[in-house]
Amino acid sequence: MAKVLVVYHSQSGNTEMLARSVAEGVTKTENSHATFKRAPDANTQDIKNCDAVVICSPEYFGYMAGAIKDLFDRTYEELKDDPEIKKKPFCIVISAGNDGSGALTHIERICKGYRFKKVQHPIICKGKVTEEILAQCFEIGRTIAEGVNAGIF
C-alpha cells in the first residue's frame, strides 16, 4: 500500500485546498493511503513512515511558509543520514501571490539535503485557486500513489 504524506501550511485556506485535493487523489487511488498533516503537527516519524512526501506551501515574500521551514528544521538532523529516506519520492505544490519561484527554489534545496528524489514537476498556483489547478493537484496525488504502488518511484 502506498503511504503518501501530504504536509501543508495555510493561513488563507488556499494552500489547504490544494493539499486536500492532492490527498484526495492519493485516497482515490487503489491500495493507497494519504496522511494529511499541517506542518506544525508533522514529525520525523511521519516522514520516515511514508513512501512519498508532497510538500504544500504558500509563498511568503519569495520564500516558503515559516511552518514548512520549521518542519525541516525540526526533522533534518535526525533524518539527514537515515538510509530509509534516501531517494524518498517527493513533489511540491505552491500557492503563490507572485511567481512561486523563490519558495520552490528553497524547498528543493532543502529536499536535496535530505536526499529525497524529485519525481514530479511542481504545481504552482498563481493567484486564485481554480478548478483546473485543483484537478492538477488531484492528478499529482494519484500519480505519486500509482508510481509508488508500481515501484517506479
Can you tell me the mean pLDDT for 29-55? 98
Average pLDDT of the chain is 97
Confidence of residue 104 (pLDDT cuts 50, 70, 90): very high
pLDDT digits (tens, 9 = 90+) for 47-99: 999 999 999 999 999 999 999 999 999 999 999 999 989 999 999 999 998 89
| Dist. CA 130–CA 116, nearest whole Å | 29
The DSSP result for 64-127, as a single string, is: E-HHHHHHHHHHHHHHTT-TTTTT-EEEEEEEESS-SHHHHHHHHHHHHHHT-EE-S--EEEES
Domains of the chain: 2-150 (3.40.50.360)
pLDDT for the residue 69: 98
